[in-house]
Amino acid sequence: MSRIELTEQFYEDEVREGFYIPACVKQAWGAQVQVLNDVDRVCEELGIRYFAAWGTFLGALRHGGFVPWDDDFDICMLRDDYNRFLEEGVALLPDGYEVYNLKNREEHTQFTANIVAKGRICFEQEHLDKYHGFPYVVGMDVFILDYMSHNKDNQEVMKKKAQYVLKLSDDIQGGVLKGAKLKEQLTTLKEQLGINVPAGPDEQEIRRRLDIKAEELFASFLNEKDRAQNLVQMMPWGLNDEKIIPKFYYDDNVELKFETGTIPVPLIYDDALRICYGDYMMLYKNAGGHDYPFFAKSRSQLQEVLDFDLPEYRVDAKELLEAADRRKKKVDERERSGETYRDTVNECLNEMIRLSKGLKGDDVVGICADMQQLAIDLGTYMEAVKGEGYDIVAHLEKLCEELYLLTQGNAGYTEAKKLFDDICAMIRRRREVLFLPFKGAYWSRFEKTYRKAADDPDTDVYVIPVPYYYKDYMGRLKDMQYVTDDYPGDVVLTHYDRYDYAVHHPDKIIIQNPYDDQNLETSVPPFFYSDRLLEFTDSLVYIPWFETYDFTRENEREYINMSYYCTVPGVINADTVVLGSETLKDTYIDKLCDFAGEETRRLWEDKIVVLDDETDDDAKSEEKTMLYYPDFSNILLYREKAIDKIKSVLETFGENKDRMKFVILRGRLIDEELEKYDTDLLKEYDSLLGSVADDSAFTIVSEKETGYDELVSGCNAYYGDGSHLAHMFRNAGKPVMIQNYDI
C-alpha cells in the first residue's frame, strides 16, 4: 500500500504554485505523513481499504501532493472497513494513538473520526524524533462512506428519520428544545419512529445520543452492501441526496503520486473527485485564515501557560528608525571599519595625481620614476585583492611604458597625461558587487541582476555561495552544507573564506536568504547574518530566493505566512528590498507596519523597490507541439466511449499535422492496472496508439519513463484529462484544455 519517506530537504520553506509554505507547515505535513504511514501499516495488515479524501484527494490528483494552501489530511473508508478499523485496527496503532468519534468522546461533535498521534502537546524526545520536532496534536480526519439502500423507498424513509433526529439535536444546541418539551419529543421519537434515545444527565449528552442515532440510521444498510449501487457521506450530503457516488468507483483502489510516495484513491478517481468538487481544476486559494495553520491555536494556548515567551523575532519601532538614520549618516560620511581596497587605491591615485602636476617641470625623470613605482605598487595590490589578470593592471603597465618614453623624449606629455586621466576615471568609475546566493537551485532569482552587472565593464562581480546548516528540532545546527556544483557553468564562484570582506567593502552586497537565525529548518553562519553584512557594504540589497504570486492582505493564508519571510532580519536590515510588483510592495509594507508599527511606514516605502521583470522576446518556433493525455480512470469509466473519443482526437490531430506535432503520454496506470479490469479495452487502446506510432508527427512517450518537467518544457499546450500534469502546464502559463467525453 502507501509508504511516503520524506527527506530532510522536504522540511525547508518552499514556494509551490506561487504560495509560500513555511517550515512549520512542512513539519505539520511531515507529521501527518507519519500518521498516514502508521495507519497504512495497520490497514495493510488487516486488509482494510482506505482512500484519500477531500483536500488530500484533490492534492494527489491535481498537485501530486499536498494542496499548497491546505494544512490538514483527509482519508475515507467505507462503513464496513471503518467498523473493522475501530474493532481491530485501533489496538494495532502505535502507543499514544487515539481515535475520536461521536461514541467515545463527549467533546467530539463531528460525523467524522479523528485519528491523532497523541491527544496533547508533547515535547517528549521520542515523540519529537518521530514527528520531526512537531509537538502539537497531529492526525487525520476519517470520513465514512455509507451504503445506500438498493430500495429507494427504504432509503427515503431512513433519510427522513435521520433528518428528524438531527432537527431535535440542532434544537437542543440552539436552546429551543429543553426541559419537559425535550422529554415529550423523545417520547414521540420512541413511540412514532421506534427510535429510543434515553434521557441523559444533561441536554448536551442527549444531543450526542441523538447524533449517534442519526449516524446509526445511515449505517443501517450495511447488510445490503452487496446489492447497493451507491455510496454517500452522511453529513451533509446524505441528508440532501447530494454527492452520491456509484459504489463501483470504490470497488478497488489505485495509487497516485503523493509527495515522494503514493496514496490510494478510488479506481474511478477522476469522476469521484468531480462529484466532490465539480471542476476540480479550478483554483480557490483564499480559504480564509481563521484557523490556519491548524496548530496556531495550540501554540497560543501553550504560550498562555508558559512563564516565558516562545521564541519570536521582535523589533522596536523607535530603535528601527534611529538605526536607519545612523546607517544613512554612516554611508553618507563613508565611515569604514578598517582600511578598505577603495581607501588604499584612492590614496595611491591621489599621490599620483599630485605628482602628475609636475610632469612638465624640470624633474620629469624623477616624477616619472615615482609615478611608475606607484603604478607598479597599485597594480600589484590590485592583483592581490582582485586576482591575477585584473584588467586595470594592463592599463597601468601601459602607463609605465608611456612614462618611460616620456623620460626618453620619445613621447609627449599630452599622450601620457591623457592615459593617466583615463586610468583615474576608469578606477573611480569601477564598482564592485558581491552576490551571496543561498543555493544553486535558487540562482535563477539572481540571474537577471547578475547578468546586468557582469555585462557592465565598470563593475567587478563576485559570486560567493553561502554555506548553510540544517537544524534539528531543538534548533541545534547539524553539519555544514556547502554545495557549488549546481550553478551555471559560466558563473565564476569564489570560496567564502577566500574573500576579504572588510578590504573589498563592495559597493553592493546582494543576498537572497533573509532569515539569519530565524528559520526553523536552516541557518547560515553568523558572519553572513544581515546585520553583520551591513558592516562591509554601503548598500545591502535583498532579492528573495523565491517568487510568489501577487496577493493582498485579504488573501488571509498568504498574509499569515508572510510572518515567516517578510518580518525577518534580512528584510528589516537591508538597505533595499527588490520585489516583482507594486502589489507585493504594498502588501509587504502593510505586513511590516503591522509588525513594527505604523510609524515605520516611511522606512519601508523608501527601501522596498519594484524591479520590472521584462521577458526577452526570443524568436519563437512556428512549429507547436501539443501534449495529449487520456487518463486511466476515464478510459475505465467510459470504456468504448473513451476509445471513440481517443480515436476522434487522433484523427483530428492527423488532419492538422502539417501545422503541429503531437506527443501522446501513455499513463503509468494504463500499463499497470488496465489489463486487470478489461484486457479488450487495453488492446483497443494499444491499437489506437499503434495506428500513429510510425507517423513522424506523433511521439508516444511513457509516463514511467518521462519526467513531467520535460513534458511541460517541451510542449506548448495540453489537451486531455484533468491531472497534476495539466496543472503544471497551467502554472507554466501554457494553454490547457480538458477533454469532454460527451462531445
Residue 409: pLDDT band (50, 70, 90) is confident
What pLDDT is stored for residue 361 in this prediction? Answer: 79
Q: What is the DSSP letter of 113?
A: E
What pLDDT is stored for residue 617 in this prediction? Answer: 45
The cell for 487 is 550553478
Q: Do 77 and 140 touch, CB atoms closer than 8 A?
A: no
What pLDDT is stored for residue 312 in this prediction? Answer: 87
Q: Above 70 in pLDDT, residue 2?
A: no
Tell me what percent of the residues of the chain surpass a pLDDT of 70: 97
Q: Is residue 286 part of a domain?
A: no
Q: Above 60 in pLDDT, residue 1?
A: no
Q: Is residue 743 part of a domain?
A: no
Q: Is residue 686 part of a domain?
A: yes
Query: Which pLDDT tens digit goes with each residue over 151-201?
Result: 999 999 999 999 999 999 999 999 999 888 998 999 999 989 899 998 878
What pLDDT is stored for residue 286 in this prediction? Answer: 67
Lowest mean pLDDT of 140-144, 283-287, 346-350, 525-529, name the range.
Answer: 283-287
Q: Above 50 in pLDDT, residue 618?
A: no
Q: Above 50 in pLDDT, residue 620?
A: no
Query: Which pLDDT tens digit goes with each residue over 710-733?
Result: 999 999 999 999 999 999 999 999
Residue 613: pLDDT band (50, 70, 90) is low
Is 52 exposed, middle or buried, given 0-12, 13-18 or 19+ CB atoms closer than 10 A?
buried
Rounded Cα–Cα distance for residues 466 and 10 (Å): 20
Which residues sit opposite 471 in a β-bridge? 477
Residues 20 and 76 in one domain: yes
What pLDDT is stored for residue 619 in this prediction? Answer: 42
Model's pTM, two decimal places? Answer: 0.91
CA of residue 554 relative to chain centroid, distance: 20
Residues 683 and 703 in one domain: yes
Q: Above 90 in pLDDT, residue 458?
A: yes
Query: Which pLDDT tens digit goes with each residue over 10-54?
Result: 999 999 999 999 999 999 999 999 999 999 999 999 999 999 999
Domain membership of residue 27 as a residue range:
8-144+244-280
Lowest mean pLDDT of 64-68, 128-132, 244-248, 337-341, name the range.
Answer: 337-341
Dihedral sign, Cα of residue 217, residue 220, residue 225, residue 227: negative
Q: Is residue 319 part of a domain?
A: no
Residues 722 and 643 in one domain: yes
Rounded Cα–Cα distance for residues 175 and 323 (Å): 58
Report how many domains make up the chain: 5
What pLDDT is stored for residue 311 in this prediction? Answer: 80
Q: Is residue 586 part of a domain?
A: yes
Q: Which of 117, 60, 93 is nearest to 264 (CA)?
A: 60
CATH of the domain at 100: 3.30.460
What pLDDT is stored for residue 396 in this prediction? Answer: 95
Rounded Cα–Cα distance for residues 341 and 332 (Å): 18
Residues 367 and 485 in one domain: no
Q: Which of 420, 415, 400 is nearest to 349 (CA)?
A: 420
Residues 499 and 643 in one domain: no
Across the range 391-420, mean pLDDT stands at 88
- Distances in whole angstroms, Cα of residue 687 to Cα of each of 511, 643, 683, 700: 56, 10, 6, 13
Residues 507 and 446 in one domain: yes
The cell for 245 is 457516488
The cell for 61 is 490528483
Residues in CB range of 639: below 8 A, 6 or more apart: 678, 681
Residues 121 and 251 in one domain: yes
Mean pLDDT for all residues in the chain: 92
Residues 567 and 498 in one domain: yes
Tell me what percent of the residues of the chain surpass a pLDDT of 90: 81
Residues 134 and 159 in one domain: no
CATH of the domain at 687: 3.40.50
Q: Is residue 448 part of a domain?
A: yes
Query: Which pLDDT tens digit goes with each residue over 282-330?
Result: 988 766 777 899 998 888 888 888 777 778 899 999 999 999 999 988 8
Q: Is residue 362 part of a domain?
A: yes
What pLDDT is stored for residue 309 in this prediction? Answer: 77
More confident residue, 636 or 310: 636
Residues 72 and 190 in one domain: no
Which residue, of 419, 452, 469, is where some domain finishes?
419
Across the range 224-244, mean pLDDT stands at 93
Phi first, then psi, for residue 589 (nearest 5°) are: -65, -45
Q: What is the DSSP letter of 89?
A: I
Residue 616: pLDDT band (50, 70, 90) is very low
Query: Which pLDDT tens digit goes with each residue over 572-612?
Result: 999 999 999 999 999 999 999 999 999 999 999 999 999 86
Residues 390 and 539 in one domain: no
- Residue 278 has a CB neighbour count (10 Å cut-off) of 9
Q: Above 50 in pLDDT, residue 92?
A: yes
Query: Which pLDDT tens digit goes with each residue over 639-685?
Result: 999 999 999 999 999 999 999 999 999 999 999 999 999 999 999 99
The cell for 523 is 541557518
Residue 271: pLDDT band (50, 70, 90) is very high
Q: Concatenated DSSP letters for 518-579?
A: --SSEE--GGGSHHHHGGG-S-EEE--SS-PPP--TTSHHHHHHGGGTTSSHHHHH-SEEEE
Q: Do 26 and 16 touch, CB atoms closer than 8 A?
A: no
Rounded Cα–Cα distance for residues 482 and 501 (Å): 19
- Distances in whole angstroms, Cα of residue 716 to Cα of each of 119, 233, 281, 455, 620: 50, 40, 19, 32, 11
Residues 213 and 258 in one domain: no
Q: Which of 620, 616, 627, 614 is nearest to 664 (CA)?
A: 627
Q: Do 162 and 321 touch, CB atoms closer than 8 A?
A: no
Q: Is residue 553 part of a domain?
A: yes
